[in-house]
A and B are shown apart, each in its own frame.
Chain A
Amino acid sequence: MTIAPSVPPSRLRESGGDGRLAALFIAPALLGFTVFLLWPTLRGIYLSFTRFNLLTPAEWVGLDNYVRMVHDPIFWDSLQVTVEYVVINIGVQTAAALAIAVLLQRLTQSSVLRGIVLTPYLMSNVVAGVVWLWILDTQLGIGNQVIGALGFDHVPFLADEDWAIPTIALINVWRHVGYTALLLFAGLMAIPEDMYEAARVDGASEWRMFWRITLPLLRPVLAVVLIMTVIGSFQVFDTVAVTTMGGPANATNVLQYYIYGAAFGRFQFGYASAMSVALLVVLSAITFLQYRLTRAGQSDLG
């Protein structure tokens, strides 16, 4: 079967004119993209093949940095720590955000409530980290005072190897859950109300409506939110830098923190770049996989 060209000739000429105008509109963004994203990425990849200490010229060393990375127990350890963090952080955050969003949609339309949900997000990560560090301090923190008053032993939330990562993950859930909930809430608003009306006429329960209407129709938004939050989650740094500095005994030495230490602490910009490239590859793979698995590009509405 052949398809006849349906675009009239006059339209082609017109789109040529549009193209030039479009290029003009894109130019500023393209410039920014090139200068601030593309060039640094390419330069980072180049530096990953060099020995570079910032003060003397970079020296080409081939795959040395990658060989070192593959053998580096701390690199693999920090990758594992990072994944553990992401799993806890994203798991709890997505479930909690979804619950909040659905409650906001089904129970109330109050914008005051929406504002309250968002408040932790208005705080900077560093401030949130410091405040929680104080609250959770083993001896003096008010959180542990409360735990002590209830008759339990104090918990070294940020000072214990096993507790530290879950604690940091939950601190960041606390800060980001409102924002994530709001994004999901926006997605929920796009689901037509008549679907719920029809379901209610058929006698469906809220629970059933959630699984049969809300979740399937929210999927594309949920997928995009997941992709964004997972990438953001992999980049955890500030909370770690403020609360634990990677300790105790590297238990919270997340990849970004290790990369930062290698570059700005030990002036191994080449090796740090190699690890950054590895992180880029991991993130690209995860994003690609998520995109395919969740069919984020398609909607069932329609």
Chain B
Amino acid sequence: MRSVRSAVALAGALALSLVAGCAKGGGAGAGGNTVTYWLWDANQLPAYQACAKGFEKENPGLKVKISQLDWDDYWTKLTASFIAGTEPDVFTDHIQKFGQFADLKVLEPLDDLGIDASDYQPGLADNWIGQDGRRYGAPKDWDTVALFYNKKMTQSAGLTPQQLNSLAWNPKDGGTFEKAIAHLTVDVHGKRGDEPGFDKHHVKVYGLATGGGGDGDGQSTWSSFAASAGWNYTDKKRWGEKYRYDSKTFQSVITWYFGLAKKGYMAPLTDYSAGANPANAQVAAGKAATALDGAWMLSTYAAMKGITFGTAFTPAGPTGKRATMMNGLADSITKNAHNKEGARKWVRYLSSDACQSVVGRYGIVFPATPEGTKAAVAAYGKKGIDVTAFTEPVTDKKDFRTFTFPITNYAADVFALMHPAMQGIYGSGRSVGSLDQTNDQINLILSQ
């Protein structure tokens, strides 16, 4: 849900929403005592409403008005609101959109909020510093990616949770990870993927669910593999000027990863649909035994009827480390906020332990502060969900590598170029070398 994949829809209906944005404006333009706040995740709404109550108690006279809009509408309406001047005072910001908003100069610097990077899980606070060296976001929460598996299927395949937690892969033969995936694949005749006579064209259960082409980030598809092979998206950690989709390492990872589909261990691209049939739906339907998915999907998997799931670390790669993207959201204040003073207070409160512990107790997301994270882990535990596969990579730096979304300018253009390019390789069998041209074009745009 947080993946940029949904950003396609941004282009979809802007003209319409320009009108709608003017008409509705999400309750902006309220008086001096109200702070308007937007978020997109409906699951998180109760948590932040509780947070707002605490804030209002601490700041008598100030009121927080929260509007929740679904992901697709959210960005369209938000962008339209900047143009129409009806923007919220504070909104939930995504790192993939940050570059564009910085470019549009619609964000208020937050340097004087006194945000200390060491108060949060490592790396989260630094991502929200713009190219001008100023801070534009206060860390809010984080998520990582792990391997979800259908316990019944792994058991019948004879794979123990310990085994699943110690898988390794490499781009040559796929290692123990590919072996496990192959063994979990079952064709219509009941033959497993690693047995002779396996019919790869008539597969009943795929070993690994498909998450599509992964676009430019591969958050819950190929990014764990590429990063554990030592690859980086760009030349610099933040605000890089050159992408590296032309790297031989990267291309070998992509060849291997989409090769899983050719071998029949992963569903073909045609079986994937971001809206109707994402990875979790394939698991829910019993069409896939495992899926790489994000922590934000935990409650979705937990709610699946008739399926008990487990989670395992992403497989260790050629570097010897396991890797996962660690993405974090932040709260940003808009430059033309109607109630800037109130907005500052609200963001300071949102980024404090006081609020993040409250949010954590709802067990729907990992808040950015260690205190908040602890509360969330406990809350998940109470629901019977073990989240070690998501939290361990953040604390264990020896065996794990975490990385963020590529933070560069022109993120939307990179998406527009990489989305069809990766689909072409996955779906229409285009050569992985074609990424060289796409990469050149991306770097040309970044150099301009």
Residues of A within 8 A of B (CB): 51, 53-56, 61, 64, 67-68, 71-74, 161, 241, 245, 248-250, 253, 260-262, 264-268
Contact = CB atoms under 8 A, between A and B. Distances in A.
B439 to A, nearest CB: 11
A274 to B, nearest CB: 12
Given A53-B104, A55-B82, A55-B105, A73 B441 contact: yes
A74 B440 contact: no
A72 B106 CA distance: 29
Interface of B: 8, 10-12, 14-15, 79, 82-83, 100, 103-106, 412-413, 416-417, 420, 423-424, 427-428, 437-438, 440-441, 444-445, 448
Nearest to A55: B104
Contact of B437 (A61, A68, A73, A250): A73
Contacts of A71: 440-441, 444
A261 B416 contact: yes
B417 A74 contact: yes
B105 A264 contact: no
A67 B106 CA distance: 29
Contacts of B104: 53-56, 267
Of listed B79, B417, B448, residue having the most chain A CB within 10 A = B448
A266 B11 contact: yes
Nearest to B79: A267
Contacts of A61: 448
Contacts of A249: 420, 423-424, 427-428
Given A245-B12, A267-B100, 14 more contacts: A51-B448, A53-B103, A53-B104, A54-B83, A56-B105, A67-B448, A68-B441, A68-B444, A71-B441, A74-B417, A245-B8, A249-B424, A261-B416, A265-B12
Contacts of A161: 428
Contacts of A241: 12
Contact of A72 (B79, B420, B423, B441): B441
B109 to A, nearest CB: 16
Given A53-B103, A56-B105, A249-B428, A264 B11 contact: yes
B71 to A, nearest CB: 15
Contacts of B428: 161, 249
B420 A74 contact: yes
Contacts of B448: 51, 61, 64, 67-68
9 contacts: A68-B444, A68-B445, A73-B441, A74-B416, A74-B417, A161-B428, A249-B428, A266-B413, A267-B79
Contacts of A264: 11, 14-15
A265 B423 contact: no
- Describe B's contact surface by its main secondary structure: helix
Contacts of B427: 249
A51 B445 CA distance: 11
Nearest to A253: B420
B35 to A, nearest CB: 23
Nearest to A268: B413
A264 B416 CA distance: 13
A161 B428 CA distance: 10
A266 B100 CA distance: 8
Contacts of A54: 83, 104
Contacts of B412: 265-267
A266 B416 contact: yes
Nearest to B11: A265
B420 to A, nearest CB: 4
A284 to B, nearest CB: 26
Nearest to A261: B11
A265 B424 contact: no
Nearest to A51: B448
A68 B441 CA distance: 7
B438 A73 contact: yes
Of listed B420, B423, B437, B441, residue having the most chain A CB within 10 A = B420
A56 B103 CA distance: 8
A210 to B, nearest CB: 44
Nearest to B75: A265
A283 B223 CA distance: 43
A276 to B, nearest CB: 16
Contacts of A68: 441, 444-445, 448
Contacts of B423: 248-249
Contacts of B12: 241, 245, 265
Nearest to B80: A264
* 3 closest cross-chain pairs (CB), A and B: A265-B11, A266-B412, A261-B11
A158 to B, nearest CB: 14
A225 to B, nearest CB: 30
Nearest to A61: B448
Nearest to A54: B83
A259 to B, nearest CB: 11
Contacts of A72: 441
A71 B428 CA distance: 22
Contacts of B79: 267
Nearest to A264: B14
A220 B106 CA distance: 55
Given A55-B104, A64-B448, A265 B441 contact: no
A54 B424 CA distance: 32
Contacts of A265: 10-12, 14, 412
Contacts of B106: 55
Nearest to B422: A249
A233 to B, nearest CB: 21
Contact of B83 (A55, A67, A73, A266): A55
A67 B448 CA distance: 10
Of listed A73, A249, A261, residue having the most chain B CB within 10 A = A249
